Structure 1
């Protein structure tokens, strides 16, 4: 039976807003606000939501690429929230990230061999010859060839560059990979190739993914469970089949109503959300979604709903199901 690889409890990340002559603190942007979830070994957890909802910030905070404001992050039963930079550096061989832009994330002055071998240089004691062999092996694994090692990033297409980014993430045999919208910058035909590659690598190397995206169709294709975020809060979390067939939160229902169907005979009742996403520097009181929710009640404006298990393994933050 799979056991938890990562546990996140009460995670918060607030960015300070400064102003005035002396740059004093005048407020804060609540990018991530009290997130709690668990990722099991070998699982793919999808995280979806509108742009600016805090998905990417969540991923970077888990890896301590940015420091969390509050909360607890447990990786393999070890609390990594406050460990030193040196301890975190050692741990990074087990926790990697694939970035959204496959060109910006690769150093244009380095060859592919140098890009992929850099993690090996930092985290292993392999000789130069062994590192070169490992680079060639990784290129073959992600669908490229050994002769590509001497080329530079600008000589590849977007899909090929993302394969190089995946190879770099795999270099030290990590256990957890956070995928920060890894296919959003790619053509649709290339997206499917990269998603199929990532699924195959998960099975081949027993990887665990946190897959961050805004495309619900992409997340449905690759994920085992899906969490929906809105304005820094997790509003719903369950397995993908349940979420797509029986969404409980009004925000999830609205998102899914906008997904086009491949069947022309299927008619959907589109849920149009009114208004704009509130300012995360001044979020609404109570439920953060109540300003746009078609089912909002008086209690929604006053009391923030708890993130509770409405049904078996189906968590939702909504007073309708509290």
Structure 2
């Protein structure tokens, strides 16, 4: 079965300075050669610590941030090579839910006008059907038509995120990329939003890319998970395989840092030393070798290949070469 989305060798470099006249610039390698596939109807989670490039990856896929290189194949078309007019026609199939719902909403527009806008831009619904469609969508995400004429500042954080989800859903997309959609919410509200997203996925046959730094949240909602470190994908596996048998030392350290309530399944905690290297000057070879407790000489010089070690389990580590 062909995947809904294929990401191949995706890169996003930000130039920061020139070394000298006629010489190459220095770059921040925010996303450095990331590849993965997403099957229709699944939720692919991306995790990693702050600054690892997971949000930039999500925005680069939809060209909200223009990637430096790579391919993004969606429904058989390479989004990177599409002209602006061609990409615009594809937009309503691919939507984004932002981390900060208040910052992503226009404070001068009512919620009704905010939800009407994508329908008008893409010409999906016309006339009186626009208002009917908006009211229907408000009810689907747990709001009512009484919220139609209200402004963003009149809502709570959880309600604003429901509006953000409604705006993404109203164009009837096939793929939604959610960038830390619950990280700014209280724990009780987080569970409501996550359950809403799962219900909507079943109802509308949605495919998600769910970006988060919270491992428990990602485990709850994802089918497969990719772990990023310093702009690269270092491990990818079905969620049960990843949590029960993490292969990469960095993934093991991440999972070991999660508080355990059941002593019978407590993990050995791996304490990483040193700071995360700068993406403007990443280490040679494996970028994790400066903090890795299992570092070998080859890790300092050679970049590990992304290899399959088990069924659907991939890892970039010389321990599995």
TM category, shorter: over 0.9
Distance 2:261 2:139 in 1: 34
State the Cα distance separating 1:178 from its structure 2 match. Answer: 0.3
Structure 2 match to 1:311: 310
Residues paired across the two proteins, number: 320
State the Cα distance separating 1:263 from its structure 2 match. Answer: 2.5
Structure 2 match to 1:3: 2
For the pair 1:121 / 2:124, whether they are aligned, the reply is no
What secondary structure sits across from 1:110 in the alignment?
coil
Distance 2:267 2:98 in 1: 34
Gaps (5+ residues) in structure 1? none
For the pair 1:232 / 2:205, whether they are aligned, the reply is no
Q: How does 1:79-118 map to 2 (within 5 A)?
A: 79-118=78-117
Structure 2 CA distance for partners of 1:26 and 1:80, relative to 1, 3 Å: closer
Structure 2 match to 1:69: 68
State the Cα distance separating 1:50 from its structure 2 match. Answer: 0.4
State the Cα distance separating 1:128 from its structure 2 match. Answer: 3.5
Tell me if the contact between 1:250 and 1:295 (Cα under 8 Å) persists in the aligned partners.
Answer: yes
Deviates more, 1:60-69 or 1:255-264: 255-264
Distance 2:250 2:177 in 1: 24
Distance 2:161 2:39 in 1: 25
Structure 2 match to 1:48: 47
Structure 2 match to 1:196: 195
Distance 2:230 2:40 in 1: 28
State the Cα distance separating 1:312 from its structure 2 match. Answer: 1.4
Tell me if the contact between 1:17 and 1:25 (Cα under 8 Å) persists in the aligned partners.
Answer: no
Structure 2 match to 1:302: 301
Structure 2 CA distance for partners of 1:257 and 1:93, relative to 1, 3 Å: same
Post-superposition Cα deviations, 1:225-255, rounded to whole Å, max 9, x if no partner, equal 0000000000000100000000000000000
Q: How does 1:133-212 map to 2 (within 5 A)?
A: 133-212=132-211
Structure 2 CA distance for partners of 1:267 and 1:36, relative to 1, 3 Å: closer
Post-superposition Cα deviations, 1:8-51, rounded to whole Å, max 9, x if no partner, equal 111111001136999x9641000001111000000100000000
Post-superposition Cα deviations, 1:127-163, rounded to whole Å, max 9, x if no partner, equal 3421110110000000111111111111110000000
State the Cα distance separating 1:266 from its structure 2 match. Answer: 5.0
Gaps (5+ residues) in structure 2? none
What secondary structure sits across from 1:93 in the alignment?
helix
Instruction: Using structure 2 for the length normalisation, give the TM-score.
Output: 0.97
Distance 2:13 2:185 in 1: 31
Tell me if the contact between 2:174 and 2:207 (Cα under 8 Å) persists in the aligned partners.
Answer: yes
Structure 1 match to 2:257: 258
For the pair 1:321 / 2:320, whether they are aligned, the reply is yes
Tell me if the contact between 1:9 and 1:37 (Cα under 8 Å) persists in the aligned partners.
Answer: yes
Q: Which runs of 4+ in 1 moved over 3 A?
A: 19-22, 264-268
Deviates more, 1:79-88 or 1:44-53: 79-88
What secondary structure sits across from 1:134 in the alignment?
helix
What secondary structure sits across from 2:46 in the alignment?
strand
Tell me if the contact between 1:16 and 1:25 (Cα under 8 Å) persists in the aligned partners.
Answer: no
